[in-house]
Structure 1
Amino acid sequence: MSASLTLLVIAKEPLPGRVKTRLTPPFTPAQAARLAEAALVDTLRAVAAAPARRRLLVLEGRPGPWLPPGFDVVPQSAGGLDARLADAFAACAGPALLIGMDTPQVTPELLDVPLADGEACFGPAEDGGFWALGLAAPDPALVRGVPMSSPDTGAVQRARLVDAGLRVRDLPRLRDVDTAADATAVAARAPHGRFAAELSRLRAAGAQVHGR
């Protein structure tokens, strides 16, 4: 069990026009925000159910009724995503595992990752990025400067860990929700979650959810 772990979620407040803009079209900005909120709810529920010493939401925006109890909330820093991830790790003492809000299919079991000295864990994403990064000794320098949102982001980040002499444990590859096609595929993998239910409601209301 990894009860000594700090679990971090880096997220945006789910506001129309500010989140999941690649879902529009076919979704409206308001519908995309509803899907983003549902993904965030599923993610936070998984984190809340996983063993941890501390649970930290690193948030751009303000918390809402979607936030369960048991989380500390800190604002995201300024700068690019690499800088914001680095600063999130800088707020941790001891082993830490960071995830985003884009993988609502995540489970508490996937987050139960003991990290011994000299270890890291890495969760690759299907789009070439990564959905999880764990460090036994959080070092912002391991993240800062990694090019984000590119097809080789994950490869560069993992190589950074290896080059630092860390033993890297690979987690299962997951699919981020960026497009409508992603949303359909991810909902099928986690059919009982809030995200799948919200997508089903939008489908029933007539939204074109399959993407191209």
Structure 2
Amino acid sequence: MPQRGGGLDERLAAAFAHAARLAPAAPALLVGMDTPQLTAPMLAEPLSAVRRAGVDAWYGPAADGGFWALGLARPTEQLARRLLLGVPMSTPGTGAALLERLHGAGLVAARLPELTDVDTARDARAVAAAAPHSRFATHLRSIRLTPEVTG
């Protein structure tokens, strides 16, 4: 679905609201596009039917203090807005603020693996090294990073 305007908190809340309208009884998981090392097996076990029992939300922490994934077992527009609106995005405290909101709402949150999101060339090299056989790593090896990009 196309993103709506506004800050990241508003866009994420809108995506959950859209998912809730499309499939009211289905869980929804939003994943950041800057985690190219993510694989289906990393999600298969924590999101399996057996592990979903009793879980209200899924939280994927990012190494920089943010988060790369957020899932809701029963998303609604109201819940998404309450959890996300006003959370400062792209800061070292973003993940902690979101976890506080999840716990404050009385939700049982399952933790997904910590991943590094790619915000810089240094992050890109670290992710490529962690997943050397990925398409991302293959593509990164084909790019010649200049000194001003590698910072």
- TM class by smaller structure: 0.7 to 0.9
Q: What letter corresponds to residue 110 of structure 1 in structure 2? A: M
Give the number of aligned pairs. Answer: 137
| Residue correspondence of structure 1 range 18-97 to structure 2 within 5 A | 74-92=1-19, 93=24, 94-97=26-29
Q: What letter corresponds to residue 108 of structure 2 in structure 1? A: R
Task: Tell whether the 8 Å contact from 1:95 to 1:137 is kept in structure 2 after alignment.
Answer: yes
Task: Tell whether the 8 Å contact from 1:131 to 1:176 is kept in structure 2 after alignment.
Answer: yes
Gaps of 5+ in 2: none
Gaps of 5+ in 1: 1-73
2:61 match: 124
Spell out structure 1 runs of 4+ moving beyond 3 A.
114-118, 206-210
Task: Tell whether the 8 Å contact from 2:84 to 2:98 is kept in structure 1 after alignment.
Answer: yes
User: CA–CA distance in 2 between the matches of 1:192 and 1:96?
Assistant: 29
- Give the superposition deviation at 1:155: 0.3
Which structure has the highest helix share of the two? 2
- Give the superposition deviation at 1:158: 0.8
Deviations 1:20-61 (Å, cap 9, x if unpaired)? xxxxxxxxxxxxxxxxxxxxxxxxxxxxxxxxxxxxxxxxxx
- Give the superposition deviation at 1:145: 1.8
Instruction: Answer 1 or 2: higher relative contact order, Cα 8 Å, separation at least 6.
Output: 2
Pairwise CA RMSD: 1.8
Task: Tell whether the 8 Å contact from 2:61 to 2:112 is kept in structure 1 after alignment.
Answer: yes
Matched residues, percent identical?
Answer: 56
| TM-score (norm. length: structure 2) | 0.83
- Give the superposition deviation at 1:211: 2.8
**Secondary structure of 2:141's partner?**
helix
| TM-score (norm. length: structure 1) | 0.60
- Give the superposition deviation at 1:207: 3.9
Which structure has the highest strand share of the two? 1
Task: Tell whether the 8 Å contact from 2:54 to 2:108 is kept in structure 1 after alignment.
Answer: no
